[in-house]
Structure 1
Amino acid sequence: MEHRKINKPEHKGKKGLAAFLFSRIFIFGLMVALQVGVFMALAYNASLSKGMSYCITILQILVVIYIVNDKSDPTMKLIWVIFIMIVPAFGILMYLYFMLQPGSILLKKKLEHIDVRSDRYLIPDQNIYNDLQIQDKQVSMIAKYVYDNTGCPVYRNTEVTYFNCGEAKYKALIEQLEEAQDFIFMEYFIIEEGRVWNSILRVLEKKVQQGVEVRVMYDGLCSLTKLPVGYFKKLRRKGIKSKTFAPARPFFTTQQNNRDHRKVLVIDGKVAFTGGINLADEYMNIVERFGYWKDTAVMLRGDAAKSFTLMFLQMWNVTEKTIGNFDRYLDIDIPYKFPNNGYVIGYGDDPFGKEHVGESVYLHIINTANRYLHIVTPYLVIDNVMMSSLKFAAKRGVDVKIVMPGIPDKAYAFCLARTYYSELIEAGVEIYEYTPGFTHAKMFISDDEKATVGTINLDYRSLFLHFENGCFIYKNKTILDIEEDYQQMLKDSKKVSLIECRNRPVLYKACGKVLRLLAPLM
């Protein structure tokens, strides 16, 4: 496989230890660590008192009983129980602190209120649903499930274009932005100043001058590592409506976990982009960080773009005092006609919903696969349900393959992911590592009939803690393009053998097993 020459990242300003010590991320981490230290000191002093020790023991028993009977993920419950048993006072204090976060409670209530208000906007077409039920009852059931939990219906009249790299998406993105006439909505986990963002920003500035409404929202962690503090104010001065989702503040809080990991771009409510590609130079291979950056995305033209408009508006209004009216952006005529082009379901996921929609869509594809199930993911940190489903699919004769990075972006995450390899391979799952570099794509493909492309990694953070989104595609010709690209990925990858897994250094395997204890936090 040929890859064009890419540049090494430029390093500006101070270098070395001094630069790190004065960096925003170090100061942020130091302040959080100090707060944890205060909690530890309070817990230690409380445990010194004999009377308090008895109270802590009673409270320890009660909290463990509560956790065991809670409806949360079993692995997460196990970690909390172990933590509380080892360091009772500190563990109980941390658990109560996390469970009683006022910010998270208020955010959950606001989201529930927005969801109720959103119900009236996208009404399912019963004829589409009936036709889908005739073609495949299982798919009609997942369509109903997604709508019931996200408000996003199944659509037909949609053209799907697949991009097998960031460079291809970037070109199409610029072309579509140039065509915008009414509004542009952008919601990205990462936006970073550089050639990619600067060129996009120039187009956005021009569109604002032409009277197009432009909104840009990015996750708060950008202000720690990617963008200047208060960068959204700079965008506002250019006429762009902008905000930071969940600004990173130096406080020890569970809200730091609930990042906006979505990648959504909507143009005039008629065109939408999603996938794994953020707006930074490495995603387009302008600079090199971990070899060749392999990523994917899709562009939707037609009815299904409305779901991504709704998702954006829901997230935008989370931090607004009043919920605006969505009609102007959703009650629009779609000029495109794409008959006989399958079905598309856009869907979002959030950490406060009763259902884990992203995981459920993945499990649907796994459990209904007949011939093959092909997966690409940058991380592999899965719970027992996902593990059992993957193993059972392989054992019942489905060709199950997973492509992982050959050059990881996080060494500890890669070490942890490899602890799952042996069990999967023994069950018949084939695992490959992409030798040219890092795979950041998040895709499932099955039987030339189903696929999903989106932002959801196979790890706890994406599946349970982050705001995410995806695009489920059924019987659309683009699925063949996705599978063709997957086959090319396999050619560029090295198959991992069971012997290789067993022969890894003892210390490396031991570190992986220790990290499994912290898996739900990674």
Structure 2
Amino acid sequence: MINWVWTHWFITALIVNYIVALSAAFFLLRNNQNPRKTLSSLLFLIAFPFVGLLIYYFFGLEYRKSKIFKRKNLDSHKIISKWNDKLFLTDEELAKFEEDFLKDRLKLVKLLRHNEDSPLTLKNDLKVLYNGENTFKTILHDIDQAKHHIHIEYFIFNDDTTGNEFIDRLLAARERDVLVKLIYDSVGSDLSGNAIKKMRNAGIDVEAFMPVIFSNFTRKANYRDHRKIVIIDGHIGYLGGINVSDDYRNDLGENKHGYWRDTHLRIEGHAVKSIQAQWMLNWFFVHDHTEQEEDDMINKDYFPDVDEWENKPVQIAASGPDSDWANIMEAIFLAINTAEESIRITTPYFIPNQAILTALESAARSGIDVEIMVPRIGDSWAARYASRSYFEEIMNCGIKVFWYCRGMLHAKTMVVDGQFATIGTSNMDYRSFDINFEINALIYDEAVAQNLNEKFEKDKEDCVQLDPQEWEERSHFYKFKESFCRLWAPML
């Protein structure tokens, strides 16, 4: 028997592969995932021996109900219960603001409250920031003014010119006795051991989110911390599409992606408490701590009283594999379905699930003006062709598609009826909706919405609008590449 195994080693390996693949297939079917994702995973398990198992291991495993995230979810609800009473508005209080602020968006507010304890906040001043060079300048200025603490969480925090600027400012903050804590994603980031050691030696708490070995070989590994958060003294917060990397700025000379177009948001006020709470949930997840440490951080130093004269309603939506609901996706879905006039979307990756796709197509067919802006090239060839596989279908429904041609469009925004807007870290794709940890600001303010609409119109000058008839006449080979990449859509 042993001799036969050694003599026929390839057949033996193939048998073992399919035994393991059958076990994985049983797990997939039993787990009741999205049917398209399940079929995609099964296809690769069956059609590609050995490689299919690797693809399944890195992209197909579903941990939403696993013990590690169940534990995190229980801890989250325990921590949230300590601060939510200070943030929530009751339904009666919400009704007072419906006429002036919410109009027909009240259902959206209640949806998020019921899904993930996302309170509506009113005392906020908002500033939309465009592109990395402007955003970094503003963040670093606020870091220099920090008095008590700086909390940071990034998917990409690179050890390059931009990253070292941040590190230098954080070291200076520590010299002023400011408390500094940093969460970085070990797959997305490229931080050297020396940089981490330098920060830790200065008293900066640095933690990697779910560290992996050989991160360069797992660029698309599942369940990553895709958030980009900075919190300063509990009353200034940042979130959006911009990571800490030279790739995100246009003032250092042309990078490998050419011009980089992105959008970020600075919040000063009550909504920062919600961002702070979400940051703390991940900090307690990655950092060994005691219950006393939790209690110590739920105080006015981290959740200060708000004295902001502006009154812009904001709701913070966070989602990830630890949440019972796909909060950001559901919020976007409901916002699309309540649209009456227009929808403007900018996204680097348009790979929608069926619910979002149907909502957008139904909106367009009902006469709502729907426009989607995506990069012509992008930074991922697979995502590029998967996105393009949807263009013919959505344009036939009346949706206008604009190709951004100046460089990489990385902004993640949506504006509905010129009154509601969302800015955040979530792309319009499966990974953001169901796999990664994301965070978005939902903004019920006409001035911010109009600001984003004006920028959308300005960006059109660097775009080409796709013609449905010309697009339909693209080559069969081109369509095949799109269809092939679309098979991967649930895993991209």
TM-score by length of 2: 0.87
User: How far has the Cα of 1:235 moved from its partner?
Assistant: 1.3
Question: Structure 2 stretches of 5 or more lacking a match?
Answer: 1-9
Structure 2 residue aligned with 1:327, among 278, 298, 307? 298
Q: Distance in 2 between matches of 1:250 and 1:425?
A: 41
SS of the residue corresponding to residue 238 of structure 2 reads strand
Q: Does 1:246 align with 2:210?
A: yes
Q: Distance in 1 between matches of 2:151 and 2:160?
A: 20
SS of the residue corresponding to residue 257 of structure 1 reads coil
Q: Does 1:284 align with 2:245?
A: no
User: How far has the Cα of 1:64 moved from its partner?
Assistant: 7.2
Instruction: Quote the residue 1:405 is aligned against.
Output: 375
Q: Distance in 1 between matches of 2:368 and 2:62?
A: 44
Deviation per CA, 1:436-474, whole angstroms, max 9, x where unpaired?
A: 111000000011110000000111111111000000000
Instruction: Quote the residue 2:236 is aligned against.
Output: 271
Matched residue type, 1:240: I
Q: Give runs of aligned pairs for residues 429-508 of structure 1, distance below 5 A.
A: 429-508=399-478
User: How far has the Cα of 1:321 moved from its partner?
Assistant: 3.1
Task: Judge conservation of contact 1:378–1:440 (CA < 8 Å) in 2.
Answer: yes
Q: Distance in 1 between matches of 2:303 and 2:17?
A: 61
SS of the residue corresponding to residue 361 of structure 2 reads helix
Mean CA deviation greater in 117-126 or 325-334: 325-334
User: How far has the Cα of 1:62 moved from its partner?
Assistant: 6.1
Structure 2 residue aligned with 1:236, among 191, 196, 200? 200
Q: Distance in 1 between matches of 2:51 and 2:462?
A: 48
Matched residue type, 2:288: K
Q: Give runs of aligned pairs for residues 98-177 of structure 1, distance below 5 A.
A: 104-123=66-85, 124-126=88-90, 128-134=93-99, 136=102, 138-177=104-143
Deviation per CA, 1:238-273, whole angstroms, max 9, x where unpaired?
A: 221111111122499999311100001101110101
User: How far has the Cα of 1:63 moved from its partner?
Assistant: 5.8
Q: Does 1:344 align with 2:314?
A: yes
Question: Structure 1 stretches of 5 or more lacking a match?
Answer: 1-39
Task: Judge conservation of contact 2:240–2:265 (CA < 8 Å) in 1.
Answer: yes
Structure 2 residue aligned with 1:421, among 369, 387, 391? 391
User: How far has the Cα of 1:430 moved from its partner?
Assistant: 0.2
Matched residue type, 2:73: L
Deviation per CA, 1:315-351, whole angstroms, max 9, x where unpaired?
A: 111023335223134442123222xx33101121112
User: How far has the Cα of 1:125 moved from its partner?
Assistant: 2.3
Task: Judge conservation of contact 1:342–1:476 (CA < 8 Å) in 2.
Answer: no
Task: Judge conservation of contact 2:315–2:442 (CA < 8 Å) in 1.
Answer: yes
Q: Distance in 1 between matches of 2:62 and 2:342?
A: 44
Deviation per CA, 1:199-220, whole angstroms, max 9, x where unpaired?
A: 2222211111111111111100
Task: Judge conservation of contact 1:449–1:474 (CA < 8 Å) in 2.
Answer: yes
Q: What is the root-mean-square deviation of aligned Cα atoms in Å? A: 3.1
SS of the residue corresponding to residue 185 of structure 1 reads strand
Q: Distance in 2 between matches of 1:96 and 1:186?
A: 30
- Distance of aligned partners of 1:77 and 1:131 in 2 relative to their CA distance in 1, 3 Å threshold: farther
Instruction: Quote the residue 2:4 is aligned against.
Output: none
Matched residue type, 2:30: Y
Q: Does 1:356 align with 2:326?
A: yes
- Aligned pair count? 470
Q: Distance in 1 between matches of 2:440 and 2:64?
A: 29
SS of the residue corresponding to residue 83 of structure 2 reads coil
Instruction: Quote the residue 2:160 is aligned against.
Output: 194
Task: Judge conservation of contact 1:248–1:256 (CA < 8 Å) in 2.
Answer: no
Instruction: Quote the residue 1:303 is aligned against.
Output: 270
Q: Distance in 2 between matches of 1:255 and 1:434?
A: 24
Instruction: Quote the residue 1:78 is aligned against.
Output: 39
Q: Distance in 2 between matches of 1:371 and 1:264?
A: 32
SS of the residue corresponding to residue 82 of structure 2 reads coil
User: How far has the Cα of 1:93 moved from its partner?
Assistant: 11
Structure 2 residue aligned with 1:212, among 153, 175, 178? 178
- Distance of aligned partners of 1:425 and 1:250 in 2 relative to their CA distance in 1, 3 Å threshold: same
Q: Does 1:511 align with 2:481?
A: yes
Structure 1 residue aligned with 2:354, among 384, 387, 390? 384
Instruction: Quote the residue 1:178 is aligned against.
Output: 144
Task: Judge conservation of contact 2:21–2:45 (CA < 8 Å) in 1.
Answer: no
User: How far has the Cα of 1:116 moved from its partner?
Assistant: 2.5
Task: Judge conservation of contact 1:233–1:242 (CA < 8 Å) in 2.
Answer: no
Q: Distance in 2 between matches of 1:512 and 1:422?
A: 11
Deviation per CA, 1:90-115, whole angstroms, max 9, x where unpaired?
A: 97999799769799532332233223
Mean CA deviation greater in 246-255 or 173-182: 246-255
- Distance of aligned partners of 1:128 and 1:211 in 2 relative to their CA distance in 1, 3 Å threshold: farther
User: How far has the Cα of 1:56 moved from its partner?
Assistant: 9.2
Instruction: Quote the residue 2:335 is aligned against.
Output: 365
Q: Does 1:393 align with 2:393?
A: no
Task: Judge conservation of contact 2:14–2:49 (CA < 8 Å) in 1.
Answer: no
Matched residue type, 2:305: D
User: How far has the Cα of 1:393 moved from its partner?
Assistant: 0.7
Q: Distance in 2 between matches of 1:100 and 1:153?
A: 29
Q: Distance in 1 between matches of 2:65 and 2:199?
A: 27
Task: Judge conservation of contact 2:125–2:312 (CA < 8 Å) in 1.
Answer: no
Task: Judge conservation of contact 2:188–2:219 (CA < 8 Å) in 1.
Answer: no
Q: Does 1:318 align with 2:282?
A: no
- Distance of aligned partners of 1:80 and 1:156 in 2 relative to their CA distance in 1, 3 Å threshold: same
- Distance of aligned partners of 1:317 and 1:60 in 2 relative to their CA distance in 1, 3 Å threshold: closer
Matched residue type, 1:318: F
Q: Distance in 2 between matches of 1:229 and 1:41?
A: 43
SS of the residue corresponding to residue 258 of structure 1 reads coil
TM-score by length of 1: 0.82
Task: Judge conservation of contact 1:291–1:407 (CA < 8 Å) in 2.
Answer: no
Deviation per CA, 1:181-231, whole angstroms, max 9, x where unpaired?
A: 1111110111112332222222211111111111111100145xx222474
- Distance of aligned partners of 1:103 and 1:202 in 2 relative to their CA distance in 1, 3 Å threshold: farther
Q: Distance in 1 between matches of 2:245 and 2:13?
A: 43
